[in-house]
Structure 1
Amino acid sequence: MKKPFNYEIIYSSRKTVAIQVTSDGTVKVRAPYRCPRSFIDSFVKKQESWVLKQLAKAEERRRNHPQDNHPPLSEKDRARYMKIARDIFVRKTEYYARIMGVTYGRITIREQKTRWGSCSSRGNLNFNWRLILAPEEVLDYVVVHELAHRKEMNHSRAFYAVVESVLPDYRRQKKWLRENGQKLWEAV
């Protein structure tokens, strides 16, 4: 049986199956390690109309905005950017953790499509390397935001009071990220 599109399967320790259509029109299926291929094929078949819609949108974006079509970043360049990001985030995290009187675990640099940073319950911090393309105040905000989770593991008023005690103008950085964050994906 001929499929209307090809897809790549990425196995990992996740618990669910998910489909991603990238901006360049690549279809990726993420699945748990022991998930049978027959289940994945069936799942994709059920999602076929959604995938085709997303592929059409990606094609339309490419046609209407050819200036946005950067060649994919090489692994060598990505590794270089991640190393630069690691150096910056380690330095900033050490600095702000001292000011805030908090500890943290490991720092990991990633390239997440939907997050700029995160803090686990164990205090491990993740930062998106693409933040190094933003103004420095924005990096400071993300670091302070994640470290504030070491005091308040939520987004309550108390949490934002912690952020504000360190960065009184944090709202400006938060707004910049909301309005301009997508541009960091288009920059390289």
Structure 2
Amino acid sequence: MGFLTKRQKPPVVEESMLHFKWPVVIHRSSRRRTMELRVTRDNTIRVLCPASVTDQQIEHWIQSKSSWIDAKLLVNSKRQSIVLPKLQTGAYWWYRGQNLTLKIEQSKHSGVELIEDALVVGSAGAGQQTILQLLRSWYFDQAHGRFLQRATLFADRLSVKPARIELKPYRAMWGRCNSRGEVAYDWRVIVAPDRVLDYLVIHELCHLKHFDHSRSFWSLVESQQPEYRDSRVWLTEHATLVKSMFLDGSE
């Protein structure tokens, strides 16, 4: 026989707007116990806080976070200024941090070839969907070889052995490591400079020793790449480009 539980009252929620250096949406809730600050990709600044917090308290708190907010807005502006590469001859496509010139040629044999600083796509059918698929397959193959090579190198240096290495396109993250010792990476990071790909490899392998983001974890990461913070910034600033490069209109 089950016990009847007392029905909880719905939270009292109030939303308002304050104008500081930037407009800020305030979301007060009777259930919330802590304050949280969010800056969305459309530059909406939102404060989530307990119902008892006053506008004056929020103002002081926002002022203490102004540098952080400016940094987030700057990242957003850089994201919005990114121009995705086009599927046409003469367009620039990134590969391992370098700009390559795309050349599309009619050919009986379909494929992609790297010739000096040019990415040459041969295709019997000139449709953009076909060209995109050829490029996607070529980049994936390059990523497979590069990630495996670097993971083998850094796993040896760290004295770890991943149970499995997988490559896949992630929507919101760059990689993962699970409790079974399996690591996975977003293969599209092959477009980034080599140091950034190395950082991603190192990051997930370090989780095989520290399954958290503790000081010990970051110290281990830093022991393999002292400038890892620069690599993290690169990933943040170029997330839109990297995640969108190989999408077609249906994705």
Alignment TM-score, normalising by the size of structure 1: 0.59
- Report Cα offsets for 1:41-65 as digits up to 9, x if no partner: xxxxxxxxxxxxxxxxxxxxxxx99
**Partner in structure 1 of residue 179 of structure 2:** 121
1:157 Cα offset (Å): 1.1
> For the Cα contact (< 8 Å) 2:85–2:245, is it kept in 1?
no
Query: Counterparts of 1:173 and 1:75 in 2: how far apart (Å)?
Result: 28
1:68 Cα offset (Å): 4.5
The equivalent position to 2:146 in structure 1, one of 67, 70, 88, is: 88
Residue 136, structure 1, aligned to residue 178, structure 2 = no
Name whichever structure is richer in strand by fraction. Answer: 2
The equivalent position to 2:170 in structure 1, one of 112, 126, 131, is: 112
> Taking structure 1 as reference, are residues 102 and 69 closer, same or farther at Cα in structure 2, changes over 3 Å only?
closer
Query: Counterparts of 1:169 and 1:113 in 2: how far apart (Å)?
Result: 26
Residue 101, structure 1, aligned to residue 159, structure 2 = yes
> Taking structure 1 as reference, are residues 187 and 69 closer, same or farther at Cα in structure 2, changes over 3 Å only?
closer
User: What SS does structure 1 have at the residue aligned with 2:237?
Assistant: helix
Residue 78, structure 1, aligned to residue 128, structure 2 = no
1:74 Cα offset (Å): 4.0
> For the Cα contact (< 8 Å) 1:104–1:124, is it kept in 2?
yes
Question: Following superposition, which runs of at least 4 residues in structure 1 exceed 3 angstroms of deviation?
Answer: 67-77
> For the Cα contact (< 8 Å) 1:118–1:126, is it kept in 2?
yes
Letter in 1 for 2:240: Q
> For the Cα contact (< 8 Å) 2:84–2:241, is it kept in 1?
no
1:119 Cα offset (Å): 1.0
Letter in 1 for 2:178: S
Alignment length (residue pairs)? 124
- Identical residues among aligned pairs (%): 34
Greater C-alpha Rg: 2
Name whichever structure is richer in helix by fraction. Answer: 1
**Partner in structure 2 of residue 165 of structure 1:** 223
> For the Cα contact (< 8 Å) 1:82–1:110, is it kept in 2?
no
RMSD of equivalent CA atoms: 2.3
Q: Which moved more, 1:109-118 or 1:177-186?
A: 177-186
Once the two structures are superposed, the pairs formed by residues 1-188 of structure 1 within 5 Å of their partners are 68=84, 74-188=132-246
1:174 Cα offset (Å): 0.8
Q: Gaps (5+ residues) in structure 2?
A: 1-79, 87-127, 247-251
> For the Cα contact (< 8 Å) 1:112–1:128, is it kept in 2?
yes
Q: Which moved more, 1:161-170 or 1:72-81?
A: 72-81
- Report Cα offsets for 1:24-48 as digits up to 9, x if no partner: xxxxxxxxxxxxxxxxxxxxxxxxx
